[in-house]
Chains A and B, each alone.
Chain A
Amino acid sequence: MTGLVLAIETSCDETAAAVVDGRRILSSIVASQAELHSVYGGVVPEVAARHHLTTVNAVVDEALREAGVSLNDIARIAVTRRPGLIGALLVGVATAKALAYATGKDLVMVDHLHGHIAAVWLEPLSLDAPFVALTASGGHTRIDLVEDYTAPQLLGQTLDDAAGEAIDKGARLLGIPYPGGPGLEALARDGDPTAFDFPVGLRGRGPGLDFSYAGVKTALLYVVRDLGEEGTTARRADLAASYQEAIVRPLADRLMRAAEIHGVPAVSIGGGVAANGRLRHLVEEGAASRGLRVAIPDRSLCTDNAAMIGAAAAFSPAIPWPHYVGEDAIATAPPGGIAA
């Protein structure tokens, strides 16, 4: 695969653009809206869509400038088509289609989850298939078998809440403002992860690779209620550490189990929850003890970004000009997995 790819990502609350040259990232610009949404305690789709619209062209300009290239130098344009907030996706898709159409370029429509998985293909990790990939974020929690980057296969996923969602909800119960991930992790550093025995999702239920996070969130709610305001304040660090452990340990455990079952030599993690230090530690430790290669991207490549969309574009079919003019964004993931 040759030529520069300009990639655009607007599926949730980050407006992102990147220029990638094969495995090399020439630029990766992310305009985060996290602060904007924090007053609402979560991502508000209409607010996100409004902000993408006023930001996306400047972010594209910045990505081109930082890469030291012009739009003329770009071979293909890539954009996140699905899944995500539809109003947010549509801004990126309309922008990418217009940029590609006006310049006679081909367009690659990328699945956001394919992007998270393909992030480890980029330098410096440069992980080659086969491996198993954990993707955990506010919207997704899944493990895929990547025998080939073009067609990751779903092995297991959450049956209810996403891991990131459980983290945000737990953080809120402990009085940590949205987004709760960094705050919970900081608090947990001073706590004992074994202080409270929160139910680990689907523990002891056979060899499955699925997840469940509804129970742990409810368990925290009860403990906080029983401890009362004073008791909760006194034990916040232990609560945070135990709760975080109940969420990230099953992620690491099932990822290792998936690697064993499928006999692959490597594991990877991605998605916003993969920025969590405890998860990164557990995955590193688990992989080392099993002699597995482990690909843990830089935090900036775990959370939503466009470089990963540019990476996935290398493994997705390009739609030749002008046959994409009628292509559309799609809110949902396709049944069973990833649209490559």
Chain B
Amino acid sequence: MTTFALDTATPTPSLALVGVDGVIAELWLGRVPGGGRRVLEAAHHLLGACGVVPADLQQIVVGVGPGGFTGIRIGIATALGLGQALGIPVHGASSLEALALGATVACREGELIAPVIDARRREVFAGAYAVDADRGLRQVIAPAAWDPGDFARALAQAGPAVIAGDGAALVPALPTTRLAPDGPVQQVRAALLVARVAQEGPLPVLPHYLRLPDAEEKRLERLAAEARA
């Protein structure tokens, strides 16, 4: 089973080729604006380096977010296009949970793992998970778009935690939290999407925006105001 995995929810897109015996190759794009737009080019190079052609792929796993809306859509559109053309299954996995799974190596006994993705506009996409002995994740705080201060308070209630991800620095420091060390644990790794699917089964290939379009939010506010009046 050769699986191609990709995640473009964050400014550092990640791709991986995973075989039955584990990861064959991984590739990250550096933090460049619109990096997600380069994902097919990166895929071409990754496959080429492994001597694999698209027709060899048997399954695709794509990160469905949360993260940048445009990035998520490019990743999913690419995955679905490849799947449609090749006639192979496409599965979804949470980008936030893949981030959490990667950071479990930085987790000490009794600590929660709190994956945090920068949601812009001074918000973060974040959640918290307890980690069991075989690296299974149990959701403690459901993924959502948070005000960083509110998230810190929710986390303080939940227990000691290690924070990882490109939005980690936005969360106010607490006596009970610490930041995961720099390095790969701070990024969404596409290979861990595949690991997540192996743990929990696939998610539908639908974006986890966790936020309504601005126009829809305004419309609902207006309707609510009209209902009050």
Measured CB to CB, the residues of A under 8 A from B are: 39-40, 44, 46-47, 49-50, 53-54, 56-57, 60-61, 71, 86-87, 90-91, 94-99, 101-104, 322, 325-326, 328-329
- Does residue B122 face the partner (Cβ distance < 8 Å to A)? no
Contact A57 B81 (CB under 8 A): yes
A94 in contact with B73 given A40-B215, A50-B209, A326-B38 (CB within 8 Å): yes
What residue of chain B has the Cβ atom nearest to residue A104's Cβ?
A: B54
Given contacts A46-B69, A46-B214, could you give 13 more A-B pairs where the C-beta distance is less than 8 Å? A44-B216, A47-B215, A50-B213, A57-B81, A86-B70, A94-B77, A98-B78, A99-B84, A101-B40, A102-B55, A103-B85, A322-B44, A325-B40
Known contacts being A46-B214, A103-B85, is A94 close to B70, with CB within 8 Å? no
Is B210 engaged at the interface, CB distance under 8 Å to the other chain?
A: no
Over the window 51-95 of chain B, the binary record of Cβ atoms lying under 8 Å from chain A Cβ atoms (1 yes, 0 no) is 000110000000000000110011011111110111000000000
Q: State whether B81 touches A90 (Cβ < 8 A).
A: no
Q: Residues of B at under 8 Å CB distance from A?
A: 34, 37-38, 40-41, 43-44, 54-55, 69-70, 73-74, 76-82, 84-86, 206-207, 209, 213-216, 219
Determine which residue in B37, B40, B79, B82 has the highest number of CB atoms from chain A within 10 A of its CB, and name it. Answer: B40
Nearest-CB distance from B221 to chain A (Å)? Answer: 13
How many Å from the CB of B159 to the closest CB on chain A? 36
Residues of B within 8 A of A101 (CB): 40, 44, 54, 82, 85
Q: Are A91 and B77 in contact (CB under 8 A)?
A: yes
Task: Select B80's contact among A50, A57, A326, A328, beta carbons within 8 Å.
Answer: A57
Residue pair A53, B77 in contact (C-beta under 8 Å):
yes
Name the B residues within 8 Å of A49 (CB-CB).
69-70, 73
Inter-subunit contact B54/A102 (CB<8 Å): yes
CB distance from B38 to the nearest CB of A (A): 6
Give Cα A57 to B79, complex, Å.
11
Taken together as a complex, chains A and B put the C-alpha atoms of A103 and B53 apart, in Å, by 10
B-side contacts of A94, CB under 8 Å: 40, 73-74, 77-78, 81
20 contacts across the A-B interface (CB closer than 8 A): A40-B215, A46-B69, A49-B70, A53-B73, A53-B76, A57-B81, A87-B70, A87-B73, A90-B73, A90-B77, A94-B74, A94-B81, A95-B77, A98-B78, A98-B79, A98-B80, A99-B82, A101-B85, A325-B41, A325-B43
